[in-house]
Amino acid sequence: MPKLYKLKLILGGAQNSGKSSFINWQQKVDPPIGVSFESVECYANDGDLYKFLVWDLKDRERFRFLFPLFCRGACAGLICFDLSDKKSFLDLNRWITLFRESAGEIPIILIGTKADLEKREVTGEEINDLVAREGLECVFFTSTYDNDEKKEAIFREIVQKIDLNYPLNQFYIPKDSDDKKFKLIEKLFERCPICKKVNHNSRDLKNVYYNKRNPDTMRLRENLLRLIDNLENINIEHSNKISIGIPCCACFKKFFEEQQV
């Protein structure tokens, strides 16, 4: 049976280091408490869900006294720095110390942003020296062109670091286009087509939709999407005679009991 893990992740870095772009934080005004929250859902293997609540720490002087409290209970930390800004790199030691003193010996991953820019103020040697000296897990480099791919690789690394005994064979973070398609499926099947009551929550349906390892679930996903596309072609005069959806447990049991009789 698929498992659900809910985990806290802390994200740090200097102002304009690119961390908000990495996590897709859209709000323009800083939150009044110095931290914003973003949820990242990661699907692994046959539907296991790692749901990370990312605490994005806003690097303003007036908020810094709260940061040790915000770091407590985190399973891992991400720290961004701008490859074209030496100051953001030099500021990494402060963030590493904060994470270690407030959250303990958690895995810490560095993210060098704006890797697509020609201007570089931080050398690879400086980065490698810092990683080795501080005993960090690893470093990733991101740009606006490959942010989704790198984000998936980074979160995969986090899952592997925090759960060493977990055999991670398949890993996937839904993209915006996937979520839009899933919402169509979720809306279509949110009620039982027989009794019209609200069905179970969408987690099981999500596990099917985002499972890219099992060929049966992949075929089911494609059939569901094909069904939604074909609904527009159903003759309007017959549409009121057709009920499409997933029966609730009670109706499913009743239907099959009647079939067996």
Which pLDDT value is given to residue 187? 73
CA distance 75 to 183: 30
Q: Which of 212, 201, 186, 189 is nearest to 42 (CA)?
A: 212
At 170, list the tokens.
């398949």
Q: What is the pLDDT of residue 121?
A: 93
- Going edge to edge, which strands form the sheet with 48-57? 138-141, 108-113, 76-82, 4-13, 48-57, 35-44, 171-172
For the segment 131-187, what is each residue's pLDDT rounded down to a tens digit?
Answer: 999 999 899 998 877 878 899 999 999 999 998 888 888 888 887 666 677 777 777
- Inter-CA distances, 63 with 59, 124, 208, Å: 7, 32, 42
| HSE-up (13 A, CA, CB side) for residue 61 | 0
* Residue numbers in the chain where pLDDT is lower than 70: 25-30, 176-179, 200-205, 207-208, 211-214, 231-244, 256-261
From the list 199, 92, 101, the residue with the least C-alpha distance to 136 is 92
Q: Provide the pLDDT for residue 73.
A: 96
Is 102 in a helix, a strand, or coil?
helix
Can you tell me which residue has the tokens 């720290």? Answer: 79
Domains of the chain: 4-171 (3.40.50.300), 176-260 (no CATH)
Report the pLDDT value the prediction gives residue 218, as an integer from 0 to 100. Answer: 75
The per-residue pLDDT for 232 is 61
CB-count burial class (<10 Å; 0-12, 13-18, 19+) for 201: exposed
